[in-house]
Amino acid sequence: MRFKGTLVLLLLCAGLGIFLYFYEIKGGEERSKSKADENVVWKVPSDEVQQLDLITAAQHITAVRSGDKQWKITAPRLLDADGDAWNSMASSASDISRESVIEENAASLAPFGLDPAQTTVALKTKDGKVRQIRFGINNPTGNSMYAALQGKNQVFLVASYVATAFSKKLDDLRNKAILNFEQFDTQSLDLQSAKGKISLAKEGDRWWIQGKDKWAADSSAVNSLLGDLSNGRIKEFFEDNPDDYASLGLDKPILEVLLTVGKDKAIKHLVVGLEKSKLLKKGQKPKPVEKKAGDKKTEDTSPVLYVARDESRKELFLVDKEFVDKFLKSPADLRDKVLAIFQRFDVDTITVTNAKGTVNLSKSQAGDWQVGNAKKKAKWDAVNEIFDALEKPVKGFVDEPGTLSKYGLDTPVAHVVLKQGGTVKADCIFGKDAKDGVYAQIHGEPFVKIADKESLDKLGKGEADYLEPAQPPPTPFPKK
């Protein structure tokens, strides 16, 4: 009897477990899903959204998708759009859910801020179907907002963040990039300002200054400029009629930037004109600066802005002084000041010739440096000093040098050759002392450089100075 009672109890427990699983757990999941499905207002794939309209009492903005991630603003007028901003809104608009229904058929929508609506959002999908929702005021808790579908009087609540995703002004949605281009596809860069004209061309991963003589450019500095240009953002849009002004300075710009980008060498052109505070409308005279005795000069802390134009766009805009100043460069500012250009990992043999003789260094397969034909181990720090000497920035340049004897380069006091296999990576000679250093020249360069005197000092070692000291023999254990 006891066994039978225990079996019945076990069966009851099993049955209860099965009930709990299918009703409470499994059934709960299905009921939650069903409830969530009930609260879906609409749901479409984000990339199917072809057009978005944002409508308020103050504005009606329309944008149309023009590519996978590109958009074009078509109203209130044709404008370049911020693709990221419109893609984000398309994602938000594609999936709208409600929290709860407040009234199935409200007699008036006005108490909910829905007549007129605070914001109306309409989306059109690629199949031409239009969906439209109105957002009203916040409910008393402030965490949710009243909403209704266009043409219906059912009032429901949505999370506040759903509606605030569409609280945008026209300027928030316009393309704020100063110049649209892919930084690492840039093939050439021309800068023109009061500091002169610079023409830069890219060869491989290095930049070169073009002109009468070809100069190595500071590639990191050029890439930094391109990054500033690619990431630069418009401060304000110029909304006035340009024809109302005597001049915007765009015919005689303070800065002009010209790029060629990509394999097709597409041209990108930025022109920066007058400072905003100095613009005068036609017939307007400059305001005289009045100074009163005893008046203290107050510093103007307002940002300095300049009128600018991307030649591929119709609209004008304003950029700040900080952006402009980055591009006011002379050729000397962007010239590579390193004595010799090479990569350390590319070098596997070094020859140093000086008053102490010639030292030959070679790299083993294990990556260690060795001295002479005997392949004795070299001091790592001593070899690195050679690289340090050739990589140190120079003090200056002699761009139109006379004869080599004038600089002591016909009988150099030191000569360094770096190779990889049979290929010369750098060949540098050092001559007489200069006012601020020592004259040096890299083979193949038409100009003479003034190197730091410390560089020459590091190259004055003989073969013995590069040898790793022999290790003393191990101390034998004392005999017992």
Which are the contacts of 11, defined by CB distance < 8 A and separation ≥ 6?
none
Query: Which candidate, 356, 360, 383, places its Cα nearest to that of 373?
Result: 360
Which are the contacts of 190, defined by CB distance < 8 A and separation ≥ 6?
197, 198, 199, 200, 256, 257, 258, 259
Alpha carbons 246 and 279: distance in angstroms, whole number: 8
Region of residue 136 (phi > 0: left; psi between -120 and 50: alpha; otherwise: beta): beta
**Structure confidence by residue, pLDDT tens digits, 201-255:** 999 989 999 988 889 999 999 999 999 999 999 999 999 999 999 999 999 999 9
Running DSSP on this structure, what letter comes out for residue 141? Answer: T
- For the chain, how big is the Rg over CA atoms in Å? 37
Q: What is the pLDDT of residue 235?
A: 96
Question: Does residue 443 carry a pLDDT above 90?
Answer: yes
Alpha carbons 414 and 456: distance in angstroms, whole number: 7
Q: What is the pLDDT of residue 286?
A: 82
State mean pLDDT over 306-326: 96
Task: Specify whether the CB–CB gap between 408 and 439 falls below 8 A.
Answer: yes
Question: Does residue 293 carry a pLDDT above 80?
Answer: no
Q: What is the pLDDT of residue 31?
A: 45
Question: Does residue 32 carry a pLDDT above 70?
Answer: no
Q: Coil, helix or strand for 230?
A: helix
Question: Does residue 52 carry a pLDDT above 90?
Answer: yes
Alpha carbons 137 and 147: distance in angstroms, whole number: 8
Which residues are bridge partners to 423 per DSSP? 420
Which are the contacts of 197, defined by CB distance < 8 A and separation ≥ 6?
190, 191
Task: Write out the E strands in 66-109.
Answer: 71-75, 79-80, 95-97, 100-103
State mean pLDDT over 378-401: 95
**Structure confidence by residue, pLDDT tens digits, 159-195:** 999 999 999 999 999 999 999 999 999 999 999 999 9
With a pLDDT cut of 90, the percent of the chain lying above it is 82
Question: Does residue 24 carry a pLDDT above 90?
Answer: no
Alpha helix segments (H runs only) across 42-157: 83-93
Task: Specify whether the CB–CB gap between 53 and 60 falls below 8 A.
Answer: yes
Residue 18: which pLDDT band, with cuts at 50, 70 and 90?
low
Q: What is the pLDDT of residue 477?
A: 67
Q: What is the pLDDT of residue 469?
A: 87
Query: Which candidate, 166, 162, 181, places its Cα nearest to that of 85?
Result: 166
Task: Specify whether the CB–CB gap between 458 and 388 falls below 8 A.
Answer: yes
Q: Coil, helix or strand for 39?
A: coil
Q: What's this model's pTM, rounded to 2 decimal places?
A: 0.79
Alpha carbons 39 and 162: distance in angstroms, whole number: 14
Alpha carbons 336 and 340: distance in angstroms, whole number: 9
Which residues are bridge partners to 215 per DSSP? 209
- The token duo for 157 is 């609540």
Alpha carbons 458 and 417: distance in angstroms, whole number: 15
Alpha carbons 383 and 379: distance in angstroms, whole number: 7
| End-to-end Cα distance, the chain | 88
Q: Which residue has the higher pLDDT, 292 or 125?
A: 125
Residue 408: which pLDDT band, with cuts at 50, 70 and 90?
very high
Q: What sign for the dihedral angle of Cα 420, 421, 423, 428?
A: positive
State mean pLDDT over 256-263: 96
Cα→Cα distances 76→23, 197, 407, Å: 55, 40, 69
- The token duo for 340 is 């010799």
Task: Write out the E strands in 281-422.
Answer: 305-310, 317-320, 349-354, 357-363, 369-371, 376-377, 396-398, 414-420
Alpha carbons 72 and 427: distance in angstroms, whole number: 55
Residue 442: which pLDDT band, with cuts at 50, 70 and 90?
very high
Alpha carbons 85 and 390: distance in angstroms, whole number: 49
On average, the pLDDT of the chain sits at 91
State mean pLDDT over 49-66: 97
Q: What is the pLDDT of residue 182?
A: 93
What is the edge-to-edge ordering of all strands in the sheet holding 266-275?
Answer: 215-216, 206-210, 196-203, 186-193, 255-261, 266-275, 305-310, 317-320, 236-237
Query: Which candidate, 389, 401, 408, 398, places its Cα nearest to that of 452?
Result: 389
Alpha carbons 428 and 205: distance in angstroms, whole number: 23
Q: Coil, helix or strand for 327?
A: coil
With a pLDDT cut of 70, the percent of the chain lying above it is 88
